Structure formats: C-alpha cells, structure tokens
Structure 1
Amino acid sequence: MLKKLLILTLFFSLFSTPLFAQWQWSIRGGAVNTMLRTTDYNNITDIETDASGNVYILAKTGGVGLKVANQSLTAYSSYGTYNSIDIVLSSFKADGTYRWSKVIGGHLYDFAYGLKLDRQGHVYVMGRIDNPGETMVGVPYTPVHFDTDTILPKIPIDSLGIDYLDSLQQSMFLVQYETTGTFNWLRMPEPDTTTKNFGNFPFRIDVDNSGNVNWWCYLKAGEFRWANNNIITLEGMYVLKYNPQGQVLSCTPLDMSIGGLQFWGLYGSAEFKIDRTNGNYYIAGTNDGSTTISLGGVPVNSRMFLAAFSPTGQLLWKEESGGGDKGAINALSLDNAGNIYTSGFAQNSTTFGGYTFVSPTPHASPFVSMFDPGGNHLWSNMAVVEAVSDSYSVAVSDTEVAIAGYGSTLYWPNNPDSVNTEPNQGYDAFLARFNKSNGELITMERTETPFGGASYGNAIAAGPQNTYYLGGNFSMSMFLGQDTLYKVGSQRSFFLTKYECDVPEASISVSGINATNTINLTYTGDPADSVKWYLGDGTQVWGDSIQHSYAAKGKYRVCAMTYFECTEVTVCDSLVAGEISLEEQSLAEVAIYPNPTNSLLYLENLPKHSSVKLYNLNGKLLLQKQFKDMKASLDLSQLSKGVYLLELQNGAGERAFRKVMKE
C-alpha cells in the first residue's frame, strides 16, 4: 500500500518496531442490561487528550454490571421494564492503563453533550440530567449522582403525588474535575422556576486560550442562578462564558434562532467551536426539516450549514448546501490557524461551499472538507461506497486531519486503501487520515469484526505525531491488533483503541564509476514496500537498487521516496557525478549514548556547525543548542522519566530524528 504522509530530508530515525500501523491497545466497556429504546446502547461519544498524554472518554451506558476496562463501577440508572442511561467519564494513560472513572446519572435518562480539557489541567463535562421526584410508595427512585462527589436531592411532591414545580428541576449541568479525577465544582444555572419541559437546553462547549468554558445553550427568559447580569429578557441562543473558577463572565446572544426546540435539541445535529486566535464562534450542523433554523434573520433552507459569529454574537458569514442537497455535517474542528474542518456524509451532486460532491454511486458517503477562517472552501474528499456509510468525528494534528466513522465496502478515489466486507456482513469502524494541505488520503485503517458483527467509529482524538485514539461501539466482538474484545452484555458495548503509525528509518548508499559518470544507488534502511528515486536530472526510477548514468559530470540532488505500511519517508542528498561518495556530511553517523540515560547524553560524529532540539512526545520544545565541534553533550538530569524526541540538523539544513529515553 502506498501512503503519503511526510517528507523529511536526509535521514529519519525513530528506531521503533514493528514498522507498520497498528492498534496498540484496546479496552471495552458498558453495562449488561438491554436498554429499552432501540437508539440506546453503550457508546463512546467524545474523546480528549491532555499534555501528559492521558486519554479521557465520555460514554453513555446502562445500569447493570457496568464495567470499564474490567473495572467494576456503580451505576445509577434503572433497569428492567424501564431502562435509562447514565454518563461515564473515564481516563487512561497513553499505554492504556486505567486511571479513574466518574459515573453521572440517576433513575431517569441523563445525557452528556460535551467533554473538554483546558490548558490549566481541568476536565469539563456538560449535559442534561433528569432528576426524579420522591416516591410515596414502593422502592425509592435513585437520585442523580455526580458519582459520589455530589448527590442531588429528589424533587419533593405534595400529598396528591404532584411534583413541586419550583424546586430541583434544573437539568443543564457543567461540572469541572482535575485531570486526576478530583471534583472541583458543579454548576446548574437554570432558574428555580424551571420545569421539566426542556425550556432551556445545553448544546455544546469549547474552551478558549484563557481556560474559559464557552457554553452554547438555548435559554428561556428569566432570572438565572449566576451572580451578575443574570436576567435573560429574550429567549434564544446564547454563549455562556465560565472562568475556571466556575464564575459566569458573560452571556452573549447569538444571531441565530430556532423553532421546535424539543425535537431539534434531542435529535438534531449541530457542532460548536471557538477560534482561539480571535474569539469567533463557529456552528455547523444539519437541518433535517423538523424545525426552523434562521441565521442572521434568514431561514436555512438547506440540509447542511456552516456559520461564523463574532465574539459579540453577530453573524459574520454562512455557507449552505445546494444542488442535490443530500447530506449531513456531524463533526467540526479547527486548527491553530483557525482553518475549519467538517465531516459527515454527502451524496452525488450535492454542493457545499462552491464544491460539488461527485460519486459513481447514489449512496450516502463519508466526506471531509476544509475551509479557511473566512469560509472559503479549500478542498474536499469524499469516499465511494456500496452501501450507506457515515463519518461522525474529525480530529486535527499538525500536518493531518483524521475522521472516524463506519462503512461496508468503502474506498477513497485515487488511493488503493479500502474497507471491504462480504455481502450482508454489516459495518466496520474506520479511521482515515488526510494531508491537511491538499486533502489527499494518507491511509485508512479499519477495525475487524466477525461475519454478522459490526462496529461503529463515533469519536476520534489526535495524540502525538501519527497517533490517534478511536472510540465507538460494537456488537459481538472486535479484533484490534493483539486484542480481541467481546461485548459485555446483550446489546452493543463500547470500545477505545489506540492507533499508532511508527516512523521507520530510511537511508541510502552510493557507489560510482568515475569514467562514465555512472552511479549505483542502494536503499539501505528498514524494509519498505517500495522505493522511488528522483535523480536530479529529471529521471525517476522505481527499485531498491538502481544504476544511472548522467549525461555530464556535475552536482545532482538525489532523493529516495520510501513507502511503508502507513507512511512515507523521503531521503535526500547531493552528489557529484564521477565521484563515489555523497557530498554532504551525513547525520546517519551521529552516535548517541548512553540511551537510556539518567543524566548526560553524549553525541559524537556531529557535522560541524550542527544544532539539536529536544521535544517531548506532545511536540513541546524543551531545549535547543548549537555546536561547532564533532562532540557534545546534553544534560537531561532535570527532565522527568520518559521518551523524548531529539532533532539533529547540519549546516545544510538536513534533519534527522532520534528517540532518547530518560531513566
């Protein structure tokens, strides 16, 4: 399989084996009981990672025999003839080791709509609970628990068995934890006069650079429970901004209106993000026709929409679908430059942002699109499928964008990677990676299930380079690398898996026949699927070892593009035809020892006028030095134990990378 990912010059060494993409580890979770509604099952809905590499999942579950990664948890939802849903927040180390969990819920249906982390080390969960009333007879209902940290009093009833409508009816919640799982605070901002008729509704959250939580909500008129400026005079869409201490800083109305809130809020699709560079808000979603949506006072008459709002809530621009107009936006993400990425499904002849989706089949197909901060379409890529397929989540890293979803037989145009299933087998979860600059597919990986089984990718998060976390749900069983997962109970269970593409070592050697300007080039790195040579005179040749004659003696730049299972690495150097050695000082000869080390790291055979940089695995630059001599040392004694990435660079700008370990 040919994959396209990154171009490094001269030599890239990350001595990691094996040299292919793999599912590093996997866990399962969920409850045993069959839930009442057909749309309810154990499922991961959101994934986040922190600066230390820890992973956090948000899931919905049932109430019987709840487990996460073989850890038994106490659930609060009912089961039997009346089944409800709880919320699970769990955290794992980067190696899959279980850290901690929180279970939120009570007797009734409780939902979470957002999981976010800030840069100050806080974890936020947002959603809606349905607190039960007291019972006059029979087994008492279980009140809503925020695990064991906070238990809400049940709604009192009068002598006729009617709930008091002016107390404990709040449903919206925002809760903050430390990344260690320590509970900090809970906010339920609705008025005491709130009823259970979903008058207020929470949609999504995002976090800005200052650690403030921006909470997109629908609020009714009334006096709310925060300290200042707490009177809402006109119901509608608002962004509540909370600081890390749980105080409301502002309540900003959005130039967006909606009707049929109960239906749209429960079953509709919309995503919300904040641009951390300028504070603008972005909302993307699907208009399924069940309600009326207006942006800037103008109704949305299309299936898909994407809109930008200023920090004060004014509509800046919007995009709507057209043409065949059959599709949905299920996911929205931004990169550090404010570029926008959407994903979902589309069908042939549907247009969006001036781009027309084209497919040889009529089925709904996963897509990914990129827009600049001004809403200008940059690129789109849509899969070809033989049955309805979809994408539910999108994640952005430094050079890539990845999506997760499900499909049967599925492939991307101009790329051999595909998901192939037998007829009537069902669906498999997939993870597809794309080049951010042009939308070309890098690689697509699928989970494997037995015949008759199925899996669905619902959430994805980016870790360090070429690393992703994929979550969703499955029936029967799943095969993920060395792990086999079996469902917990009679319905679907949820899964979390880590995908990592190891970057291999690539290098070349040269020998020559001086009299004829003929050279022999040999690829000498880790075994590659194929090697393509660019010989500096316009010639391109495939092969592990080649011979080439130049028309004239001179300096030529030679590159070998090496294709591996899940990535490509390009090795380049300059040579003079008629000579038998590479001209530039090679970083391949640099010696690094001891590795692992507990203090000093020594470097020998450095090219003159070289430099080094040291990063952690999250890409943070820790130190940088320049050297004139061929020998040097680095003091790592102040660093924590773990693996780091060392970047070497010579005077010509060539780079090489090595993994080093601090004990």
Structure 2
Amino acid sequence: MKKLLLIFILSVLNSEIIAAQYTFDWMHDASEYNKTAIMMATDNSNNVIVTGHWMHSDIYTRKYASNGTFLWEVSNSSGIASNYQKPIWSNCDSSGNIYVVGKRYTISLSSEYADAIVALKYSPSGTLLWKRNLPVTPSTVGTSPSFTLRSEVDADGNLYIGTSQLTPSGLTLIKLSPTGSTLFQTSNNSNSGYGFGTMRLKNGKIYMTGSSDTVHGTPLVVWDTLGNLIFSAGFVHVNNINPSFLTGFGEDLEVDDTGNIYILGRTNHSTSVATNNIDILVQKVSPTGTLLWQQNYDFDGNDYPRRFALGGNRLSIISYSYGFEPNWRTQQIDTNGVQLWNTVYNAVSSVDEIPFYVTTNSLGEPIVIGKGGPTASASMATVQMVILKYNNSGVQQWISTPNIYGGSGVYCKIANDDSLFAISEHNMSVYHYNLTTLSNQEEVSQKTQFVPNPFLDKITFQIDENEANTSASIYDISGKLLLEKNINSSNNELDLSNLSSGIYFCKLNSNGNQKTIKLIKK
C-alpha cells in the first residue's frame, strides 16, 4: 500500500462539510471579586495575559499558560495620592513582551477624569521593563470622562497609541520605541474629529476613526509608521433624512489586504420619517480615501453598533437595541454592503442581553461575547457571561455560559492554535476552550498524510490504495476555486508555484467522502 504526502494544517473550508465548535477546557480567576478584567492578549506560545484593575486603585496583570497553569501576577499603582489607574488595552510583541496601556485619573462627582496616559512594558516573566506617563491636558488629549484609547505593536516592538484631543479637536497618534522613548506625537483635526473610536495597524499604516460634527461626517485619518499623514477625510451620510443628528460616529474600523477601509458607525433613522432612532452605518473607503459606498441597516428601533470583524470577505457586526431589556443583534454583510443575514440573541425575555466584542475564525464565522441568559440563577442573569458562535448562514452552532458570577463577557480571541480565550469582568475571570471539529460526512482515510508544512512550490501526497480515485480542489480564503486535479499513486503532485504566499484550503474528495484542510505557502 502506498502513502500520499501533502502539507496542510487541519481546518475547514465551509460549514456544510465541517462545523467548528468549542469544548470548555479551564477557567481561572483572581480570587478577588473587586478585581475587574478589562482586556487580554495572547503571545506566540498561546499563553494568555489578562489585565484589569482593583476598584479605583492599581492596574493588575496576570499570565496563564495555555494549559491553565497560573504563571504570575503583578500590579502597578500611580504613586500619587488621590490618583488612580485603569488599563484600556494590551498587546504582546513577537518576543512575548507585554504592553499595558491605560489612563491615570482623578475622580470628581463619581466621574473619572484622565490626567495622563499610562504605558507599561513587562518582560515575559512579569518584570516591569519601563513605565511611561504621557500627560493629558485640554490642549493635547482632553480630560473628558469618556476618555479612551487603543494600542498596537509592530514587528520591531514599537508601541502606537491612538486617542483624541479636545483643543483643537482631532485624533492623536503617539509612538513609543521598544525602550519607551517617545518617537513622535501627532494630531489631525482637518475633519474636526473630537472623539476617538478605534485604531488599526496594517500594511505599514495606522488607521484611525472617531466622532465628528454633522458637517464633516465620520472622520478617517491615515498615517504611516513614521507619523507622516497619508490622508485625512470625512464622510457624511448623504441619505440621512435628518442630517443634524448623528452623522459622524465611527465606532470601529477594519482594513482588508488590499487596503480598503470599512468604518462601522451610526446614523439617524433614514428610511422613513425623521426620528431620533439610531441605525447601523457602514462606509467603505478606498486606499486613497475615496468613499466607495455607504449603507445603513434599519431594524425599526434604536440599534447601537458595538464592534465588527472582517473575515472570509465578510463583515460580522454586533449591535444592541437601546431601551428596557435590550437584546443583542449579530449580522453579516459582504464587502459590497449586501446584508447576508441577521439574528437576535434573546434567550430570556426579561433579561438584558448586550454584546461587547466579536471575532471571527479563518472562515469568517463570528464568535460573539457579551452578557445575558439563560442562567441557573435568575437574580444573576444580567451579569452572566455568554459566548456563542454562528456559522456563515447565521445558524447558532455553539453557546457557553460557564460562570453565573463572572459578570459581563468583555473580550474573546482565537489563539494561533485555533483554541479560544475569553474574559469576563468579575474576579478577572479567564476561560479557555479547545477547538472541536465535527463532520457530517465521512472523512478521507486517516492514513492520508500531509507534509511538509509550510510548502514552497509543490506539494505531493501519499494515499491509501483504496482511495485511488481522489480529487484535490484548491481554494483561496474567499472560497474562489483556483485549481482542481485528480490524484493517484502515479500522479500525486500539485504545482502551486504560481500562488502568492498566504493561506489556502484544499478539499479532498474520495469515493464520495470529503476532507477539507488548510495549507500555508511560504
């Protein structure tokens, strides 16, 4: 019997053949109810780092191994009387160093007023390498109670911090070197952006959006990594029948591999009579700053967008309805703005259900985390973490509510081994799930082997003699068929030298049995 050679990593091409679900693995917390989780990051070894705070006090950072072993916890305080710290975002670099970025603040009438950006860098073992306090004043970033930011780290370990300023109004980018030196701080107010929404680092560029006025619309600023402005633009929702209300709110953005930018925002109800109802707005912008299309999505009420994620040439959007006992909505659109599906999660009619974050797997299937029901304790229903997954047809395939005392689920992330991490607020709780791949058809023989991985130009395979009539179909990540070939023991090589570096999928079909696997080209 002859064997076949091929290099692939087990994965999925479409949910009709293989469905990915998750199995609960472990959960740990900080054994302190007043420690609140805010953000997490994973390193290249699939360790997870959770950061949060203890009431109005210190920033706490905890690290766990992928198997759930607790590794260390560190804390950091402001060192100033009546001055507190909270984290907002965190990152890991390629060496496993950890960056925690947040705010230093004072309290007045129960509101938090930032007076500095706090940036911390820890080694993989938890040693504080440096701390930087970047002053916040009304003339630079502003002291609004709603102050927020986001950070990104590049391949060289440089830290980028995006935020907003008030006087003059605009969006602000700060870059710190791997040693913590400020390399530049730059702002742009040409489109009167005054509230920070989010930031992305991709293709050697920094993309930022936020809120603006009704004249300038949704702001978008793009810099290179040296701080040079590439372009600044504003996009007014031209179909808004009440243009004096909510036409410039950028909540989130994504960038595709060709440099097109997608901005998630909100606008006034615009398909019937003028009201103050809120619609979801998505705008697509070219790499040079031209508005390609904009589309609002009206669900007959106040629908506030939270986040969205780009994957598999689809945008997965989460939003919630405003009012008594809100529900969360998940929808998918394609990159032309066409809605593919939408569905509401409302497990218990008397319970608030609100999403907080969404991520996608390699197929673009959304995984959403938030709060809601069902729960074993009705009194705890509004503070229970819920995490669930939909396929690309909008069918809910998996749900987990592992801890009725965990509080709202605030963030989730797929690690590079395809397992899933999540955090909920109370006790700085962290959860880990292993990927479970289910098939509704028999697979090609388990004797089929795949080497090497990754490959350069050609792949060869060794196959069971009972599977002599086997076809191999190669697809790109969008699902486009690139190559199809019959393979057997004498014709067992595929030449893929014409493909660019990246991720592809191969579907093997033998005697009616199918198996889909992922391959990587160098």
For Structure 1 versus Structure 2, the TM-score category normalised by the shorter chain is 0.5 to 0.7
Q: Is the Cα contact below 8 Å between 1:361 and 1:385 reproduced in 2?
A: no
Q: CA deviation at 1:200?
A: 5.6
SS of aligned partner of 1:126: strand
Match of 2:104 in 1: 129
Partner Cα distance (1:287, 1:213) in 2: 26
Specify the code of the residue in structure 2 equivalent to 1:483: T
Q: CA deviation at 1:127?
A: 1.6
User: 1:347 pairs with 268, 287, 298, which one?
Assistant: 268
Match of 2:336 in 1: 438
User: 1:405 pairs with 307, 319, 327, which one?
Assistant: 319
| Structure 1 unmatched ranges of 5 or more | 1-11, 34-40, 62-74, 78-83, 133-168, 221-233, 289-299, 350-357, 409-423, 506-524, 527-587, 618-625, 634-643
- Alignment RMSD (CA, Å): 5.5
Q: Percent identity?
A: 16
Q: Is the Cα contact below 8 Å between 2:22 and 2:436 reproduced in 1?
A: no
User: 1:256 pairs with 189, 204, 222, which one?
Assistant: 189
Output aligned runs, 1:162-181, within 5 Å.
171-177=116-122
Q: Is the Cα contact below 8 Å between 2:371 and 2:385 reproduced in 1?
A: no
Partner Cα distance (1:343, 1:177) in 2: 33
Partner Cα distance (2:141, 2:288) in 1: 31
User: 1:271 pairs with 189, 198, 215, which one?
Assistant: 198
Matched, 1:426 2:285: no
Match of 1:284 in 2: 209
Match of 1:307 in 2: 221
Specify the code of the residue in structure 2 equivalent to 1:319: G
* TM-score where L is the length of structure 1: 0.49
Q: How many residues align?
A: 418
Q: CA deviation at 1:340?
A: 1.0
Partner Cα distance (2:327, 2:136) in 1: 42
User: 1:243 pairs with 159, 169, 177, which one?
Assistant: 177
Matched, 1:647 2:506: yes
Q: CA deviation at 1:334?
A: 1.7
User: 1:657 pairs with 512, 516, 521, which one?
Assistant: 516
| Structure 2 unmatched ranges of 5 or more | 1-10, 108-113, 143-147, 373-381, 388-398, 413-419, 421-432, 452-460, 478-485, 494-502
Matched, 1:316 2:231: yes
Q: Is the Cα contact below 8 Å between 2:504 and 2:518 reproduced in 1?
A: yes
Specify the code of the residue in structure 1 equivalent to 2:350: G
Match of 1:69 in 2: none
Compared with structure 1, are the counterparts of its residues 18 and 57 closer, same or farther at alpha carbon in structure 2 (3 Å cutoff)?
A: farther
Partner Cα distance (2:337, 2:434) in 1: 20
Q: Is the Cα contact below 8 Å between 1:42 and 1:494 reproduced in 2?
A: no
Compared with structure 1, are the counterparts of its residues 340 and 90 closer, same or farther at alpha carbon in structure 2 (3 Å cutoff)?
A: farther
Q: CA deviation at 1:496?
A: 5.0
- Deviations for 1:21-72, whole angstroms, at most 9, x for unmatched residues? 8676597989756xxxxxxx9675x56555556666665x6xxxxxxxxxxx
Output aligned runs, 1:11-410, within 5 Å.
44=38, 75=54, 77=55, 84=56, 87=59, 108-130=83-105, 171-177=116-122, 182-190=126-134, 203-216=149-162, 239-248=173-182, 250-256=183-189, 268-277=195-204, 279=205, 281-287=206-212, 301-309=215-223, 311-314=226-229, 316-322=231-237, 323=240, 324-325=242-243, 326-327=245-246, 328-349=249-270, 358=271, 362=275, 363-407=277-321
Q: CA deviation at 1:318?
A: 0.5
Partner Cα distance (1:397, 1:318) in 2: 25
Specify the code of the residue in structure 1 equivalent to 2:89: G
SS of aligned partner of 2:332: strand
* TM-score where L is the length of structure 2: 0.60
Partner Cα distance (1:212, 1:312) in 2: 13
Compared with structure 1, are the counterparts of its residues 171 and 627 closer, same or farther at alpha carbon in structure 2 (3 Å cutoff)?
A: same
The structure in which a higher percent of residues are strand is 2
Partner Cα distance (2:72, 2:16) in 1: 30
Q: Is the Cα contact below 8 Å between 2:212 and 2:218 reproduced in 1?
A: yes
Match of 1:354 in 2: none
Match of 2:359 in 1: 461
Partner Cα distance (1:14, 1:95) in 2: 28
Q: Is the Cα contact below 8 Å between 1:128 and 1:171 reproduced in 2?
A: yes
- Deviations for 1:473-506, whole angstroms, at most 9, x for unmatched residues? 5524466525354245xxx64455669998876x
Specify the code of the residue in structure 2 equivalent to 1:369: Q
Q: Is the Cα contact below 8 Å between 2:21 and 2:437 reproduced in 1?
A: no
Q: Which has the larger radius of gyration?
A: 1
- Deviations for 1:196-235, whole angstroms, at most 9, x for unmatched residues? 8896668433334544222346799xxxxxxxxxxxxx99
Q: Is the Cα contact below 8 Å between 1:282 and 1:306 reproduced in 2?
A: yes
Q: CA deviation at 1:391?
A: 1.3
Partner Cα distance (1:219, 1:238) in 2: 6
- Deviations for 1:228-265, whole angstroms, at most 9, x for unmatched residues? xxxxxx999753323334344x3153343799x9xx6x
Partner Cα distance (1:213, 1:629) in 2: 52
Compared with structure 1, are the counterparts of its residues 332 and 479 closer, same or farther at alpha carbon in structure 2 (3 Å cutoff)?
A: closer
Match of 1:603 in 2: 463
Specify the code of the residue in structure 2 equivalent to 1:407: S
Match of 1:571 in 2: none
